[in-house]
Amino acid sequence: MLNTVRKLILTAGDAWMGYEVNRTLRYLEQTEYWSRTEHLEYQNYQFRKLIQHVSEHVPFYRSHFLKYGIKPSSIKTLEDIKKLPIVDKKIITKNLGDFISNNPQKPMRWLKTSGTTGEPFRFVLSRKAQSFKIAHSIKFKKWYNVDRVDRQLVVGGIPQPQKLVKSKFLNNTLEILHSFSKNRYHIYSHILNEEGINVAINILCRKKYKSIMGYPSAIALIAKYAYENKVNIIRPSQIFTNSEILTDEDRSAIENAFGVIPRNEYAATEGAIAHECPYGSMHIALPEVIVEESDDIENEKVGELLVTFLHTYDFPFIRYRIGDIGIMSDRICKCGMEHKLLDNLIGRTNDMVEMPDGRKLNHASINMKISHWHEMKNVAQYQIVQKNLHSLMILIVGYDNVIDSHSNKLEKKFSNLFSPMDVNIRYVNEVRRDKNGKYRPIVNLVHN
């Protein structure tokens, strides 16, 4: 009965915000098992519509087409996408007004990203694109029999009170309704010191949650504590991770403690990008998004990801440099869905160690090399901080000081790994998170 009420409130809230979530969800479920040819035909059609729109209504693209003599009619398929410029946060921020359509849906609503890349920025929400993002997330969870209104524990983020209306009373009422309808309890990642982890453990011992969702590093901290201390927690039916890279180490720690394989959702404030199916493949969120690989990153067989969200009419994201690096695949997943796949999501483009000889080492490759070290068994978490091309600071959180006996060996191994750079290891009680509560395994400040 309560969940029925929650669904009614959410449906009313979606309508008030101008979203068509239920309609979009039905469409996504109907097209889920389309062939790749059918997906491609639909994307070509939506791509042409978007290009025609931006050529007429978005100043940035209207100017670009005029400057380079590009006719919208010459852009017929996704093969022509390279005629369009690659954009990023800096370009958008510099030309902010020129990215806004001259006929946006009113009232315009501005969103702000969390700034994981160090470049938080604002943009105008396209309601249809947001409808697709929400619907994709709902569909993803339904693969695992988790409903939108099922009880969920969210681990991560920071408190973000939203002022939806001017009236304080009405705003508080809306907050209460929103909290009730979402059926969520929050544990914020910035409080996850030893005391905060104990609070989280107590919550998990008292109440059954259908699912846990949040930052993998934060969920893994709780998982490692529960596993090491043999705590008998009430296991959820499913665990979903987002906002950070789900490493093999964190995936294993979460599965060991909760007895559930965590599944990854790859999305940004700007839109949905990919979701992990029960067969372990990351499916691109078709038909809403186009994902390309840009030119190979130096010394890496991976590309920087460019995304195009096909329903961002009010503020287009076309060939948008999302700030992540990964590997795309044309293989067909065993689950039967013929979406394109993201075979490997490596990390952020700015989360890499830069070596003096020009090599760039990402977190995945570093973690692969150090995870089998005997001394790392006593490391709860680490963070590599680079301020220049000649030295590194490595912050290490150990389990109950047992790491002390291995400190010299660990420092020697890290020094050999990053030679000829100077490596300084510092043992800390906790690794500081970003202001948005996210954990960054590598903090590169070389170009700041």
pLDDT in tens, 388-403: 999 999 998 876 555 5
> In this predicted structure, what is the pLDDT of residue 157?
74
Overall pTM > 0.85: no
| CATH T-level topology, domain 352-444 | GMP Synthetase; Chain A, domain 3 (3.30.300)
Cβ atoms of residues 328 and 293 within 8 Å: yes
Distance of alpha carbon 165 from the chain centroid: 28
Rounded Cα gap, residues 432 and 440, in angstroms: 9
Q: Look at residues 327, 395, 386 and name the one whose alpha carbon lies nearest to residue 352.
A: 386
User: 46-105: per-residue pLDDT in tens?
Assistant: 999 999 999 999 999 999 999 999 999 999 899 999 999 999 988 999 999 999 999 998
Q: Which fold has domain 38-120+285-346?
A: Rossmann fold (3.40.50)
Banded pLDDT at 338 (limits 50, 70, 90): very high
At the topology level, CATH places domain 1-31+126-268 in: Rossmann fold (3.40.50)
Domains 1-31+126-268 and 38-120+285-346 fall in the same CATH topology: yes
**445: pLDDT strictly greater than 90:** no
Can you give the pLDDT at residue 164? 58
- In the chain, % helix, strand, coil (3-state, to 5) comes to 40, 25, 40
Q: Can you spell out the DSSP letters for 177-215?
A: HHHHHHTEEEE-GGG-SHHHHHHHHHHHHH---SEEEE-
Question: Long-range contacts: 190-194, Cβ < 8 Å, 24+?
Answer: 190/158, 190/433, 190/437, 192/218, 192/221, 192/222, 192/430, 193/429, 193/430, 194/429
Task: Name which residue leads in pLDDT, 34 or 111.
Answer: 34
List helix spans (H) across 58-96.
59-68, 89-94
Domain residue extents for the chain: 1-31+126-268, 38-120+285-346, 352-444
